[in-house]
Amino acid sequence: MSITGATRIFALLGRPVHHSESPRLHNTWLSALDIDARYVALDVPPDRAHHVPDAMRTLGLAGVNLTVPLKEAVLPHLDALAPSAQAAGAANVIVRDAGRLIGHNTDGSGLVTHLRTQTVDWTRPAVVLGAGGAGRAVVGALLSAGIPRVHLLNRTVARATEVASRFGGRVVPGPLTNPGWREAQSGAGLVIQATSGAGRAAVATLDVSRLHRPLCWVDLNYWDQTPPLRTQLLSQGLDFDDGWGMLVAQAVEALTLFTGHRLPLAHAHSLLGPR
């Protein structure tokens, strides 16, 4: 497909973005759907979050995805939030609607869509590690999908407590430490690793020797070549999901928000081919 003066531009904004697979995903699908658009990744410093809406309007960007550290910082500067972004307290998608910039969140729903294709016991509690933008979105989505209780562990317990206050006792906050982990893991059938940066080091110290099958551990950092605890989990015969399926599922939902086209998840994967 050639690039013309009418070609729409979509972008991923955040820092870092050099590792991102999002441009490959979206450009593959845009080409397959014969849509005159391109998707790029743009590095945005954390202290420039308040400039994102002006940049979108000035440059005429058709829509953007947000990654760390912009998912929460950009919220006060948007014209409106969709219910998905309001519930998560974070946005990973911004779309233009009649000149207004609307924040959405596809992280949580994308994860659930992916998990529906896996073997997950939805009647058992779940543990979410990390209360950042992705973790916050995941908590609400898991509860909506039928998980009875979510233990939310974070290095800053006050942040996990603030998220828990929205869900009337169905979310149990705690510290991202081994004592907090020992209490949270009992009976869990699903663990979502949603930390990054320094949180990753805290996760690496957790004792997973008491986990038992069936259990699915999902690490949302699909780009991480050495995710914490993967070796230990696999040695115990536990299911380890590297986050690729969630990335694809949330991106498919973002594509619909951007273009109006609904791409079946299985077809989206087939167009991409092997990872």
φ/ψ of 178, rounded to 5, equals -65, -40
What pairing do the DSSP bridges indicate for beta strands 100-104 and 93-97? antiparallel
Which residue is it, tokens 């081994």?
Answer: 178
Supply the DSSP string of 210-222, one letter for each residue: T--SS-EEEES-T
Residue 140 has a CB neighbour count (10 Å cut-off) of 23
The residues, any chain, with a CB within 8 Å of residue 8's CB and separated by 6 or more, are 35, 36, 37, 38, 62
User: Does residue 87 or residue 253 have the better pLDDT?
Assistant: 253
Q: What is the pTM of this model?
A: 0.94
Lowest mean pLDDT among 1-10, 52-61, 110-119: 1-10
270 to 65, 241, 256: CA distances (angstroms): 23, 19, 17
Closest CA to 142 of 105, 174, 115, 180: 115
| pLDDT tops 90 at residue 168 | no
Helix, strand, coil abundance in the chain, percent, nearest 5:
40, 20, 40
pLDDT value of residue 1:
65
As a whole number of angstroms, the distance between CA 122 and CA 249 comes to 19
Q: Which domains does the chain have, with CATH numbers?
A: 8-105+250-272 (3.40.50.10860), 109-242 (3.40.50.720)
Compute the radius of gyration of the chain from its Cα atoms: 19
Q: Beta-strand (E) ranges in the chain?
A: 8-14, 37-43, 63-66, 80-81, 93-97, 100-104, 126-129, 150-154, 171-175, 190-193, 216-219, 239-241
Contact 105, 84 (CB under 8 A): yes
DSSP 97-111: ETTEEEEE--HHHHH
pLDDT digit string, tens, across residues 82-103: 999 998 899 999 999 988 999 9
Active site residue 265: no
Q: Of residues 71, 149, 151, 200, which has the active-site annotation?
A: 71
As a whole number, the mean pLDDT across the chain is: 95
Q: Work out whether strand 100-104 and strand 150-154 pair parallel, antiparallel, or are unpaired.
A: unpaired
